[in-house]
Amino acid sequence: MSSSFRADVGDVLANPGSRREITVTGTLEAARDLATVEGPVAAEVLLESTPSGIVATGVVTAQVALICSRCLVPWADEVRERFTHVFSLDPTPDTFPIDGSIIDLEPALRDEVLSAVPVNAIHAPDCRGLCGTCGMNLNNGVCDCDETELSSPFAELKDLFDGP
């Protein structure tokens, strides 16, 4: 397990009502669908002490490797997600644990980054995709496939219905 997302929150815990800002940076191994988190993941987090633990509010930024869902070309994007998570000494299903005076932000940041990954991401708004017949990437040019061929099943159906 990576330790770069761990923080000692003993000072904040000891002073209810106090707050402290931290920055954590590290690498996360995480993937979802066609997306893989790569490069450094960074988060700026405000830790606030409450009677039951620590509220961590912040922004996480990560580089994500994606595959265009239309033309299958690899590309990269940056995701940025705001979050609020509660860490408690007596964790519930809705909170993360505090281990002594240490919190580990990694599971929370992993969830946030993966939920921020775009679904069916398209590498450019005007991506032309692949030819359904020959598979050529139509962003690189026009193929020789005859588009009228593609419509022929419908033309035949039309003949059928219009027939005697």
What is the DSSP code (8-state) at residue 29?
-
Residue 148 CB, shortest distance to Zn ion, in Å, is 13
Residue 105 CB, shortest distance to Zn ion, in Å, is 33
140 near Zn ion, rule: CB under 5 A: no
89 near Zn ion, rule: CB under 5 A: no
CA dihedral sign, ordered 38, 32, 60, 116: positive
Which of 2, 133, 140, 152 contacts Zn ion by CB under 5 A? Answer: 133
138 near Zn ion, rule: CB under 5 A: no
Q: 127 is written with which tokens?
A: 């991506």
Nearest to 37 by CA among 57, 66, 13: 66
Which of 28, 41, 62, 123 contacts Zn ion by CB under 5 A? Answer: 123
130 near Zn ion, rule: CB under 5 A: no
Which of 14, 31, 76, 134 contacts Zn ion by CB under 5 A? Answer: 134
9 near Zn ion, rule: CB under 5 A: no
Indicate the residue among 42 and 67 with the shorter CB distance to Zn ion.
67
Which of 71, 103, 116, 130 contacts Zn ion by CB under 5 A? Answer: 71
67 near Zn ion, rule: CB under 5 A: no
Helices (H), ranges, the chain? 10-13, 106-116, 147-150, 152-162
Which of helix, strand or coil describes residue 60? strand
- What one-character-per-residue DSSP string does 71-115 give? T--EEEEEEEEEEEEEEESS--TTSEE-BTTEEE-HHHHHHHHHH
Helix (H) or strand (E) run with residue 42 in it:
strand 35-50
Indicate the residue among 14 and 76 with the shorter CB distance to Zn ion.
76
157 near Zn ion, rule: CB under 5 A: no
Q: 152 is written with which tokens?
A: 């022929």
Q: Which residues of this chain interact with Zn ion, rule CB under 5 A?
A: 68, 70-71, 123, 127, 131, 133-134, 136, 143, 145
